[in-house]
């Protein structure tokens, strides 16, 4: 089976989306790129029932390559990231995670960007912008998202959710979790007053430290 390991990863992380409360039902989607091929969640399939053979594989132009099921309706967002997004550090872009996480979606209705309320927002960028609203599954949404992603590894989608990317699903998923958590912290702080945010130089310092974070 073409991209067997990657399709299995898509199933694993799709189920994590539900377990971690980042989506409800069949909302949200995940993809992994290998060369000119992309394995992506299908549309309208319950994640607990998802099997590797159910995960369609498409080319970078969206044409079907393998699999019987139709890909997610948000395929334009995924393909736009793979074709046009650039990691701020020049790292490969090989995985995309799209969530409907509650706190981030709530924040997307209130502000144009999430300020550095916590240093872990540096895993996304100096801030997390909110892309202008557009109907789901459209090229207009993909273009709005791409604008918000400039110099960032993730963004909020107005009245919709989040998108994050990385070199591998582990990195992309971790950023989705961190972005949702930072939005939750911002909402809690904002409900009590005007939260203090970190200065630009500190976010830049943390971004440098994160490049070598973890085990070698």
Output 197-200 pairs: Cβ under 8 A, ≥24 positions apart.
197/115, 197/116, 197/117, 198/116, 198/117, 198/118, 198/119, 200/116, 200/126
Give domain limits for the chain: 4-211
Counting every residue, how long is the chain?
216
- 216 pLDDT band, cuts 50/70/90, is low
CA-derived radius of gyration, the chain: 17
Distance CA 93, CA 38 (A): 12
User: Is 132 marked active-site?
Assistant: no
Choosing from 68, 74, 143, 202, the catalytic residue is 74
Which CATH number does the domain 4-211 belong to among 3.40.50.620, 3.40.225.10, 3.60.110.10, 1.10.10.1800?
Answer: 3.40.225.10
Whether residue 118 is predicted with pLDDT greater than 80 in this model: the reply is yes
- In this prediction, residues 172-189 reach a mean pLDDT of 98
Whether residue 177 is predicted with pLDDT greater than 60 in this model: the reply is yes
Cβ density class 19-43: b for 16+ within 10 Å, e for less? eeebbeebbbbbbbbeeebbbbbbb
- What does the pLDDT read at residue 215? 47
User: pLDDT of 20-56, one tens digit each?
Assistant: 999 998 899 999 999 999 999 999 999 999 999 999 9
- What does the pLDDT read at residue 67? 96
């Amino acid at each position: 089976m073409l991209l067997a390991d990657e399709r299995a990863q898509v199933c694993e992380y799709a189920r994590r989306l539900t377990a971690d409360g980042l989506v409800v039902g069949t909302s949200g989607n995940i993809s992994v790129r290998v060369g000119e091929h992309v394995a992506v969640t299908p549309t309208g399939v319950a994640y607990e029932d998802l099997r590797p053979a159910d995960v369609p594989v498409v080319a970078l132009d969206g044409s079907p390559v393998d699999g019987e099921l139709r890909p997610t309706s948000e395929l334009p967002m995924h393909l736009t990231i793979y074709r046009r997004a650039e990691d701020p550090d020049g790292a490969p872009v090989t995985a995309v995670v799209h969530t409907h996480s509650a706190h981030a979606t709530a924040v997307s209705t209130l502000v144009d960007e999430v300020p550095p309320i916590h240093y872990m927002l540096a895993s996304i960028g100096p801030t997390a912008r909110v892309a202008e609203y557009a109907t789901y599954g459209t090229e207009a949404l993909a273009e709005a998202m791409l604008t918000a992603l400039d110099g960032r590894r993730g963004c909020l989608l107005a009245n919709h959710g989040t998108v994050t990317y990385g070199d591998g699903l582990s990195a992309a998923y971790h950023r989705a979790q961190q972005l949702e958590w930072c939005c939750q912290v911002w909402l809690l702080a904002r409900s009590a007053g005007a939260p203090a945010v970190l200065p630009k130089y500190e976010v830049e310092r943390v971004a440098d430290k994160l490049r070598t974070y973890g085990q070698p």
